Amino acid sequence: MAKTNKVNMTPYRFNPFEMDLLRRLTFNVYLKNRHFEMNRWPVIYWGDFHASLQDIEKHNTREYENRNKDYGKYDIDLLGCYFYTSTEEGYVEIYGDRIHHCAKDISDDLGLDFKLTRSLLQTIVLLHEIGHWFSHACFKEYRNHRMYVFTHQTKEIKETIAQLSVMWSVVGLQNKKVKTLLEIMSYLSHNQSWPYKQYLKMGNEYKKKSTVLNRYVNLLDFENSDLDYLLLKNKRPDPYRRF
């Protein structure tokens, strides 16, 4: 992994709302599934976009390739990013300046309080990036193989699991703050590029957390990229959808 200097970025500090959702995501979803384990959080940094000394401009150029100019700016991985390799656990960077500007557009369009929108958008980005970490580096068995295959897995499958991680963290909650978070998440999803909105095809079946994660692991183990199988649209992965 490329060496980075974090002089201009600071360690991320969870707020109480984020801690509650992270506990739910961890214990009600990933640790409840037989394929995953963890005993600590990943390294997470907070700062402005320009503070990263990763090859971030190259990363974002790739993100924007083949997109309509009206799409892309709401993609969560432009507001934060999980950097990883095929053999090493990664770390998360969250970009306060980009979240600020994106939250301004969302709050204006939805008629929401700006500070609340910014805070909840930040939480969504955090949960999404930690979803990438869980689905890349927290395997109980065959970790090296699964991490390697994750690196080559299709973007729509990786983003589907990360998006679902946000949704899974609030399953069963009905309070006003969560409802506003889901309103923002829905706005994002409908304005993001193609890989980020595929989970919407599941409807309420997204709540079948264990089934989806088991299918996700099957796709890694068999080096398969059948998105429909992950989305519970067919019973078995298409054997021809291989890398």
Render each residue's pLDDT in the chain as its tens digit; 243 residues.
Answer: 444 444 589 999 999 999 999 999 999 999 999 999 999 999 999 999 998 857 655 555 444 444 444 446 899 999 999 999 999 999 999 999 999 999 999 999 999 999 999 999 999 999 999 999 999 999 999 999 999 999 999 999 999 999 999 999 999 999 999 999 999 999 999 999 999 999 999 999 999 999 999 999 999 999 999 999 999 999 999 998 887
Interacting residues of 116 by C-beta distance below 8 A, sequence separation 6+: 107, 180
Helix (H) or strand (E) holding 105: helix 96-110
**Exposed (0-12), middle (13-18) or buried (19+): which is 232, by Cβ within 10 Å?**
middle
Hey, where are the domains in the chain?
10-230
Interacting residues of 237 by C-beta distance below 8 A, sequence separation 6+: 215, 218, 219, 222, 224, 226, 229
Q: CA torsion 220→226→227→230, rounded to 10°? A: -60
Structure tokens at 230: 């992950």
Q: How far is CA 168 from CA 4, 33, 156, in A?
A: 32, 13, 18
Structure tokens at 53: 């000394």
**Exposed (0-12), middle (13-18) or buried (19+): which is 223, by Cβ within 10 Å?**
middle
**pTM of the predicted protein model:** 0.92
| Short-list 96, 119, 92, CA closest to 184 | 119
